[in-house]
Structure formats: structure tokens, C-alpha cells
Amino acid sequence: MAHHLAAPAGELTAMAGAGRRASVHANSDHPAEQPPWRRLTTQHADRLGAIMDAYGRPTADRAGEEAEPPG
């Protein structure tokens, strides 16, 4: 992975971890537990858009095999 991609890669990895941890509340039976999950996913979508605007779409040749979707 190129050195200039290390910072966004680390940030994206942290975002993925936070999303996994918070996902237990996504479809909670308790409506009060859902807004934090929705805020987090909105924040992550906004940040992902900014990262892609700055660095382009992550492809295997630019960001490693993990960047490519399966199939």
C-alpha cells in the first residue's frame, strides 16, 4: 500500500470497527438505541465521500487486494 494511503486506510479500519460495534443497535426494539447508530452511519458516509474525493476509489492496484469487492 502506498505510504500516502496509510492514514485514510487506518481511519477506514477504525470506522469499520466502530460500525461493527454499534451495529447491534441498528434494529433494536428500543427506538432510543437507534439514533446513535444512524448518526454514526451518516458520519461515516460523509467521511467516506470526503476520503474518496481526496484519494479516489480504492482499487486493488492502489490500496491492496482487500479494497476490491468480491466477485
pLDDT in tens, the chain (71 residues): 567 778 888 899 999 999 999 999 888 899 898 999 999 999 999 999 999 999 888 777 777 777 666 66
Indicate whether 61 belongs to any domain: no
Number of independent structural domains in the chain? 1
Q: Is residue 23 part of a domain?
A: yes
Confidence (pLDDT) at 7: 83
**The pTM is what?**
0.74
Instruction: Let me know if residue 65 belongs to a domain.
Output: no
Between the alpha carbon of residue 58 and those of residues 38, 50, 67, the distances in Å are 24, 13, 6
Q: Is 25 inside a domain boundary?
A: yes
Per the structure, the complete domain to which residue 23 belongs is given by: 2-55
pLDDT of residue 68: 67
- Please indicate, yes or no, if residue 22 is contained in any of the structural domains: yes
Instruction: Decide if 64 is inside a domain.
Output: no
Q: What is the pLDDT of residue 65?
A: 76
Q: What is the C-alpha separation between 40 and 27, in angstroms, rounded?
A: 14
pLDDT the model gives residue 1:
53
